[in-house]
Amino acid sequence: MSIPKSVLIVGGSSQIGLAIAKECSAAGAVVSVISRQAKPELLAPKTAPLYWFQDAEQSEESCKQQVDLALEQQPETIFICNGVLHNDEGMPEKNLLQLKSQLLEKRFHSNVTVPALYLQALYRYLTKKQNIKVLVLSAKVGSISDNKLGGWYSYRMTKAALNMLIKNLSIEIGRVNKSACLVTLHPGTTATPLSEPFQKNLPEGQLQTPHQTAIRLLKVSENLKPEQNGQLLNWDATKIPF
């Protein structure tokens, strides 16, 4: 597999993001990470420089500041990993009666607003950088046409909105940079804190380790073409209908 020379990972403390960072770093790529968290000790650079930019604030200004620093490494591929399904503030809703407006707003912020702010800060770069690839981690449950089970209102609605954000931006960037490719990507069920409460009844073989998922997603990114700009892709690069 060929790994890009320079990779930027936003939301890089995500278990999937960290696994992508480790894989790229081990292959000699320059890795830049933006995260709310401080750099973990275990991620000490091995073969190539690893730049870690902490952005606890995630305001328009701080996103721009950290992105400007990260862009000094001229990334060829950008992963955006932010996404919250559950946390101390609440679990996904089983039905509409469980929906809380404050929690829905928080999920919208972490799952849509934060990726949008980083993309806004990246905007000029995306219009100019030849063959730039942007892979934004979404979820199959954000596909409206694929929804057969219902539930998980906040997560489904915010991932559907994220898919629209990327579709919209892909059109805008594609007008001025024909070589760009921006996609949303379902990583597949992966053993991370996000999926932890829901891992019990999965069919055998469905749950991937973060390392396995990182390899799959890097293969998707390796083969990504501008013709796929704006699509929602599965972990095996097949197209998921919106």
Ligand X SMILES: NC(=O)c1ccc[n+]([C@@H]2O[C@H](COP(=O)([O-])OP(=O)(O)OC[C@H]3O[C@@H](n4cnc5c(N)ncnc54)[C@H](OP(=O)(O)O)[C@@H]3O)[C@@H](O)[C@H]2O)c1
Site for ligand X, rule CB under 6 A? 11-17, 35-37, 81-84, 110, 114, 137, 139, 186-187, 189-190, 192-195
Q: For 237, left (φ over 0), alpha (ψ -120 to 50), or beta?
A: left
Minimum distance from residue 194 beta carbon to ligand X (Å): 4
Six token digits for residue 70? 């990260």
Minimum distance from residue 159 beta carbon to ligand X (Å): 7
Of the pair 63, 177, the CB lying nearest ligand X is at 63
Of the pair 81, 181, the CB lying nearest ligand X is at 81
Of the pair 48, 207, the CB lying nearest ligand X is at 207
185 close to 216: Cβ distance less than 8 angstroms: no
Minimum distance from residue 84 beta carbon to ligand X (Å): 5
- Give the end-to-end CA distance of the chain in Å, rounded to a whole number: 29
Q: Which residue's CB atom is positioned nearest to ligand X?
A: 83
Of the pair 10, 173, the CB lying nearest ligand X is at 10
Minimum distance from residue 85 beta carbon to ligand X (Å): 6
Paired residues of 77 in beta bridges = 7, 133
Of the pair 177, 235, the CB lying nearest ligand X is at 235
Minimum distance from residue 130 beta carbon to ligand X (Å): 27
Paired residues of 137 in beta bridges = 185
Q: To 10 degrees, what angle do helices 114-128 and 153-176 make?
A: 20
